[in-house]
């Protein structure tokens, strides 16, 4: 019989203890299991290809960094990959000559399920949705939450395919999450026109939320890769592609959020990305929100040159004009010409109609002249009153989620809000006159969509 020495016995015990106890705690500290993400493409239609492409690419980045699929909730309409206009059926690309980003994406909310109500319920961990087998955030005070949203937006509004979400409702949702200890720290990346207005003068720096946006409160964001010869749409958005490629091409376990933001601001040429909320969180590494394990760096992304940038507001026109300049069949040319004329006519109608609406409101004493209201850009401060006006406008005038060219003029109503000290009575009076003005000048406009 062989005897084990005391020293060998002790070393064996130490080794066993280390293998069973300490590595578990270390792995928890360094794993991505406490990272949870919500990725949302808020649009549909092939002309909005870029939003779903951005979200699919973001999903692939998180998965490649070790974030478990069960920790990622994806909302996307899912009408792009197999769209009849897609020259690559079943595939989606976010950069030219890149990989297909659609394969393997776990789509949790599709079609009509992609709406503002479900989005807020997902963030709040709604028990009724969970009971139906739908994924919602089921997170606690030690978890890090990453939210990425890409779609159309306007002053204090971001859109879904059939409805919109106001800055007031979004920030109330984030406050609920904080009060109910649904995260330790949260980052929010937002891609839309005038996206800064969703957080400016409303996001508290006491919520442990760090947000960055594609644009400041007053400007459009830009699509990119709108110049590809074989597809008549934009593959991505300038801000989104900037942060996604940065996350894909760097060791994000050693890259602070602030470093990534500075890279994005240098890369994005046509809008002004912004930071909001608790900016001390920007000292944390990107990997704490997007996953840290990484087998290799994708060298391809280092050589991607962003081209074909175009103002998001005018991409529908740009796409149609590109089609008409290409070698189309006579039927395709006729269809594209018809669509282009409809878009132009719809926009011209709305340009006149919104001015008439504001003129009528001015005659009721809420402003001086429509020209004055339309010529300035006041920072939105009274988000609560504005949110109620947006909902009234969508219900009685124009649903800007469907007729998203209408987002272009929502700043005018923010100007009116900021020039009036609305109390409940005067706000109700304004909403009444707004409904009447819309009935007189906008309702029954005859366009399926003003885009």
CA distance 268 to 26: 38
> Got the DSSP string for 246-298?
HHHHS-GGG-BHHHHHHHHHHH--SS--EEEE-GGGGGSBTHHHH----S---
Provide the Cα torsion 58, 62, 68, 72; round to 10°: -30
Q: Is 216 exposed, middle or buried (0-12, 13-18, 19+ CB in 10 A)?
A: middle
What letters, b where the CB count within 10 A reaches 16 and e where it falls short, cover 431-440?
bebbbebbee
Q: What is the helix (H) or strand (E) element at residue 311, kind and residue range?
A: strand 310-311
Both tokens of 16, joined, read 């066993």
CB 88 within 8 A of CB 46: no
CA distance 121 to 125: 6
Q: Catalytic residue numbers?
A: 152, 193
CA distance 86 to 231: 7
Task: Tell me the pairing of strands 72-75 and 35-41.
Answer: parallel
CA distance 403 to 400: 5
Both tokens of 198, joined, read 């969703």
Residues 6+ apart with CB under 8 A from 450: 346, 347, 349, 350, 398, 403, 404, 405, 406
CA distance 1 to 15: 24
CA distance 107 to 74: 5
CA distance 121 to 119: 5
CA distance 116 to 365: 33
Residues 6+ apart with CB under 8 A from 219: 193, 194, 271, 272
């Amino acid at each position: 019989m062989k005897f084990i020495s005391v020293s060998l016995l002790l070393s064996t015990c130490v080794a066993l203890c280390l293998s069973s106890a300490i590595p578990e705690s270390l792995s928890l500290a360094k794993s991505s299991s406490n990272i949870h993400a919500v990725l949302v493409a808020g649009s549909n239609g092939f002309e909005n290809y870029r939003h779903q492409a951005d979200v699919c690419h973001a999903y692939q980045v998180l998965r490649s960094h070790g974030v478990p699929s069960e920790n990622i909730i994806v909302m996307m309409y899912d009408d792009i990959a197999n769209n009849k206009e897609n020259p690559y059926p079943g595939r989606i690309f976010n950069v030219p000559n890149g990989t297909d980003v659609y394969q393997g994406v776990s789509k949790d909310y599709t079609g009509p399920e992609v709406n503002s109500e479900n989005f807020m319920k997902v963030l709040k961990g709604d028990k009724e949705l969970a009971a139906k087998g739908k994924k919602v955030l089921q997170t606690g005070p030690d978890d890090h939450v990453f939210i990425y949203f890409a779609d159309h937006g306007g002053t204090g509004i971001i859109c879904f395919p059939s409805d919109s979400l106001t800055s007031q409702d979004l920030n109330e949702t984030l406050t609920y999450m904080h009060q109910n200890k649904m995260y330790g720290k949260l980052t929010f990346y937002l891609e839309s026109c005038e996206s800064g207005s969703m957080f400016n003068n409303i996001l508290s720096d006491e919520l442990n939320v760090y947000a960055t946006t594609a644009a400041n409160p007053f400007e459009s964001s830009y699509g990119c890769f709108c110049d590809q010869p074989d597809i008549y749409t934009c593959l991505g958005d300038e801000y989104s592609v900037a942060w996604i490629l940065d996350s894909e091409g760097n060791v994000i376990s050693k890259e602070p959020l602030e470093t990534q933001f500075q890279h994005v601001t240098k890369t994005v040429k046509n809008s002004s990305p912004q930071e909001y909320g608790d900016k001390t969180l920007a000292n944390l590494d990107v990997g704490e929100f997007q996953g840290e394990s990484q087998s290799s760096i994708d060298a391809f992304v280092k050589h991607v040159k962003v081209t074909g940038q175009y103002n998001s507001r005018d991409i529908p026109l740009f796409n149609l004009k590109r089609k008409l300049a290409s070698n189309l069949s006579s039927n395709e040319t006729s269809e594209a010409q018809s669509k282009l004329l409809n878009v132009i006519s719809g926009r011209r109608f709305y340009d006149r109609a919104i001015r008439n609406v504001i003129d009528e409101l001015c005659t009721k004493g809420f402003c001086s002249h429509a020209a004055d209201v339309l010529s300035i850009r006041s920072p939105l401060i009274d988000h609560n009153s504005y949110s109620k006006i947006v909902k009234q406008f969508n219900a009685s005038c124009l649903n800007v989620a469907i007729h998203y060219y209408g987002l272009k003029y929502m700043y005018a109503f923010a100007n009116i809000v900021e020039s009036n000290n609305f109390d409940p009575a005067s706000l109700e009076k304004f909403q009444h006159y707004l409904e009447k003005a819309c009935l007189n000048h906008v309702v029954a406009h005859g366009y399926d969509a003003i885009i």
